Amino acid sequence: MALSTAKDHSYYLQLNNYGLVMLTAAALITECWFQGFPVIFARRKHFNNEFMEKNFKEEHTKSVSCEVPVEGYPDTGSGRYSQKLSYKNWLEFNSVQRAQLNFVEVINFIVPATLIAGVKYPLAATMIGGTHLLGRILYSRGYRSKGPRGRFLGAILNFASVIGQCGLAFAVGLLIYLKK
């Protein structure tokens, strides 16, 4: 198909750049998945076999007639198993857990907003999505290493990028609806 007009060329460039949008969405999804690994390591550290056997073997065996669960499942950091952690260990585990869960809470709208915004503004959507990705990395590393206070810089980038991407996605929907 030959490009005969400037309008055709513009459409081709947008379509060509949409690959960047898809890569950005894929990077966000992949980073969200990677955020689960520190949680696994924290579970193994804090809810190890010795801790679980010492604190819950008798009660668990009596109640459900099976072995004590490995790594403290289904406790998410505020349940029965966590009550036996020291305050320091509880805070450490919950900081790791919340860093990941916060991303899980946001991924459901940042990825679709990125894909929608990228239909008309692929480079802007890619830059905003990349900013969100950087914010997520800073947020989670800060939260895991310094607790809730360590998430500040990442939280600012995340908040700004979510507002920007959702606003851009809304604008794209409106422009398409109005056929502009």
96 CB-near residues (< 8 Å, 6+ apart): 38, 39, 41, 42, 143, 144
Query: With 60 as the cut, is the pLDDT of residue 5 above it?
Result: no
Query: Looking at residue 94, what is its pLDDT?
Result: 94
Query: Looking at residue 3, what is its pLDDT?
Result: 47
Kindly state the average pLDDT of the residues 116-135. Answer: 97
Query: Looking at residue 1, what is its pLDDT?
Result: 45
Residue 136 and residue 99: Cα distance in Å, rounded? 9
> Which comes out higher in pLDDT, residue 178 or 12?
178
Q: pTM for the whole thing?
A: 0.85
Note the pLDDT tens digit of each residue in 63-85: 887 888 888 888 888 888 999 99
> Which comes out higher in pLDDT, residue 79 or 8?
79
Query: Looking at residue 142, what is its pLDDT?
Result: 96
